[in-house]
Amino acid sequence: MGSAPALRRILLAGATGLVGQALLRALLLDPTVGSVQVLARRPPGFDHPKLTAHVVDFTALPALSAIDEVYLALGTTIKVAGSQAAFRAVDLDANLAVARAALKAGARRLGLVSAMGADSGSRVFYNRVKGELEDAVAALGFEGVVIARPSLLLGDRAALGQPARAGERIGGVFAGVLRPLIPADYRPIKAVDVAHALLAHVPQSRGKIILRSGAMQR
C-alpha cells in the first residue's frame, strides 16, 4: 500500500474579513489540510489544533514555517484606511509582502481575493491598485495563481466588528428584486461563494487563472 498523501500546509492573510473568515472556516474543516498559519493584526479569537496565529506588522513579517499554498484576503477601503496611501499600504503592499514571504517559505500556489474592475491601467484608483497587485503576484514565480474578481460582497460585516458598506447593503437589496435582469458578473456575491471557488481551484492550479464573479456564484 502506498503512503497517504501529505497534508496541505496553508498560509492565510486577512482571516478576519468576509472572504478570509469563510476561507479559514473551510480550511480548518478540510481533512486534507494539516496546518493553517494566519497572519493578522489581531488574534482570530479562538483556538484550533490546526491553527497557528501570528499577530504581525505587515511591514516586517516574521519567518514562516514551510507552506504549500497561500491565500491573500487582506483588504480595506479608502474611507476606513483614511487616505489613498494608507489604502495602498494594505491592499497592495501588505498583500505583496505576504506573497513574497510565502514564496520564500516554499509555497507553490496562491489564491488572491481581488475585485471585479481590477486593471493596472485603470483611471480609477481602487481598480488600479487591485490590478497592480494582480500583476505583481502573477510575476513572482508561483506554479499556480488563482485570482478571484468578485462583484459586491454579501455577508454579515457587523458580526465581524466591521462597519457596513453602503454599496454592498444597497446592492444586496436591489439584487434581490432585479437579479434576473443583472448580468451574472455584476450581481452581488456571497463571500462564502468566493472562498469556496478559490479553494476549489488553488490546490491543483497551474499558470494564472481568473475567476469572474458570475462563475463563482453557486
pLDDT in tens, 177-216: 556 667 788 889 999 999 999 999 999 999 999 999 999 9
Q: Which amino acid is at 214?
A: G
Question: Has residue 53 been placed in a domain?
Answer: yes
pLDDT at 157: 44
- Is residue 2 a part of any domain in this protein? no
Select from 56, 68, 73, 66 the least CA-distant residue to 13: 73
Domain count, the chain: 1
Which distant-in-sequence residues (6+ apart) come within 8 Å of 77 by Cβ? 87, 165
The pLDDT of residue 170 is 55
DSSP class of residue 92 equals I
CATH code, domain with 183:
3.40.50.720
Tens of pLDDT along 88-131?
999 999 999 999 999 999 999 999 999 999 999 999 999 999 99
pLDDT at 5: 79
Is-above-0.85 flag for pTM? yes
Tell whether the model's pLDDT for residue 78 goes beyond 80: yes
The pLDDT tens digits of the residues spanning 134-173 come to 999 999 999 999 999 999 999 754 554 545 555 555 555 5
Give the 3-state secondary structure of residue 75: coil
pLDDT of residue 182: 75
Q: In this structure, is residue 1 part of a structural domain? A: no
**Residue 47 scores a pLDDT above 60:** yes
The reply to whether 90 falls in a domain is yes
Contacts of 149 (CB under 8 A, 6+ apart): 114, 115, 116, 118, 210, 211, 212, 213
Distance CA 16, CA 55 (A): 12
Kindly state the cell numbers that stand for 50.
Answer: 490546526
Residue 31 in any domain: the answer is yes
The phi and psi torsions of 210 (rounded to 5 degrees) equal -105, 125
Q: Which domain holds residue 182?
A: 8-216
Q: Is residue 37 part of a domain?
A: yes
Residue 133 inside a domain? The answer is: yes
Q: Does residue 191 sit within a domain?
A: yes
